[in-house]
């Protein structure tokens, strides 16, 4: 149906509507007042009038649809829904961020490591580490005699800044603070395949009442451990470095192992050198110990 046909149809409907009898005349009103107490009867419209009204309503609806009224309303509703969803999503994201920040803050508190703080007024001095106390210097090649033949070994210089001496040792060996005697140091062999323990050489400051007393202590300790004193080996350290001021030296032999003690003095301080060789490493460790003794120097 085109616009012209629709307009003609509407005119016909209006004309028919105007022809419907009017029931609002004065005579009709007075008649209704007189009959006010009488029961009301339902009013029935002819079928053609009902059809006309329905057709009129359908036409009005078509006009509104063609004008895009409902579409605009639908778009407005859709836009409003989208805005509401966006606001809800925004609120949700904000809440999520707040919860995430709270979780991170909670996690930080949980993961914090509690460190012990020394009580005020107490001054506890922690022992210095090997890196703080032992300075490692340059490396160089050294020629040594082993099994009657010359051999070249790469050595490194090291200095104990606390005990006040320096020397050299095989560059692969570990120079460290003695865990049993925090004031002393020890050297552990390492030929590239891991540490060979126990330490084969250690230097420790000691308090000495007399030379005889410390000699007796060595004898008792080594006898208890199954070692025997070798009287003919009492000048090995001093013969390699007469600047050490060796006061006493003793050599003990066990089964497949040996230990040598030497008592040194320097500026009214006393130190014990222990050299321990064992098993298949005995000869090599003896050579390395000789290097340490030969290059040993007291530092200012």
Q: Give the pLDDT confidence score for residue 130 in this predicted structure.
A: 61
Q: Give the pLDDT confidence score for residue 5 in this predicted structure.
A: 74
What does the block give as tokens for 165? 């001496």
How many angstroms separate the CA atoms of 24 and 298, rounded? 137
Q: Which of 63-78 are b and which e, b meaning 16 or more Cβ less than 10 Å from the residue's Cβ?
A: eeeeeeeeeeeeeeee
Same domain? 92 vs 13: yes
Same domain? 71 vs 140: no
Q: Give the pLDDT confidence score for residue 183 in this predicted structure.
A: 84
10-residue mean pLDDT profile of the chain (300 residues): values are: 72 70 55 54 51 64 54 48 50 47 45 37 46 88 86 94 95 90 89 94 92 94 96 88 94 96 94 96 94 94
Burial class for 179, CB neighbours closer than 10 Å (0-12, 13-18, 19+)? exposed
Same domain? 291 vs 167: yes
DSSP conformation class of 280:
G
Q: In which residue are the tokens 């104990």 written? A: 160
Same domain? 151 vs 274: yes
Q: Give the pLDDT confidence score for residue 125 in this predicted structure.
A: 41
Q: Give the pLDDT confidence score for residue 84 in this predicted structure.
A: 44
Tell me which residue range forms the domain holding 208: 130-298
CB 140 within 8 A of CB 155: yes
Same domain? 169 vs 242: yes
Counting the structural domains of the chain, the total is: 2
Q: Give the pLDDT confidence score for residue 96 in this predicted structure.
A: 44
Predicted structure pTM score: 0.57
Q: Give the pLDDT confidence score for residue 67 in this predicted structure.
A: 55
CB 137 within 8 A of CB 156: yes
36 lies in some domain? no
Same domain? 8 vs 140: no
């Amino acid at each position: 149906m085109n616009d012209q046909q629709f307009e003609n149809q509407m005119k016909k409907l209006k004309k028919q509507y105007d022809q419907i009898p009017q029931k609002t005349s004065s005579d009709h009103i007075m008649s209704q007042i007189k009959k006010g107490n009488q029961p009301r009867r339902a009013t029935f419209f002819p079928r053609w009038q009902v059809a006309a009204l329905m057709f009129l309503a359908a036409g009005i609806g078509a006009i509104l649809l063609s004008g895009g009224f409902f579409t605009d309303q639908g778009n407005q509703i859709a836009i409003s829904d989208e805005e509401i969803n966006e606001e809800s999503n925004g609120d949700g994201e904000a809440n999520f961020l707040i919860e995430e920040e709270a979780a991170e803050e909670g996690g930080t508190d949980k993961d914090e490591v509690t460190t012990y703080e020394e009580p005020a007024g107490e001054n506890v001095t922690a022992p210095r580490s090997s890196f703080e106390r032992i300075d490692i210097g340059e490396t160089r090649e050294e020629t040594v005699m082993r099994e009657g033949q010359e051999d070249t070994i790469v050595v490194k210089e090291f200095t104990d800044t606390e005990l006040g001496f320096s020397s050299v040792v095989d560059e692969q060996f570990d120079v460290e603070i003695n865990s049993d005697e925090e004031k002393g140091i020890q050297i552990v062999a390492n030929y590239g395949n891991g540490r060979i323990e126990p330490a084969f050489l250690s230097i420790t400051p000691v308090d000495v009442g007399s030379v005889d007393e410390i000699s007796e202590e060595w004898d008792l300790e080594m006898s208890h451990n199954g070692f025997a004193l070798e009287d003919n080996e009492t000048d090995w350290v001093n013969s390699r470095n007469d600047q050490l001021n060796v006061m006493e030296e003793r050599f003990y032999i066990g089964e497949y192992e040996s230990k040598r003690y030497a008592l040194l003095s320097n500026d009214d301080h006393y130190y014990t050198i222990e050299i321990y060789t064992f098993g298949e490493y005995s000869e090599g460790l003896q050579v390395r110990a000789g290097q340490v003794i030969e290059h040993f120097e007291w530092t200012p």
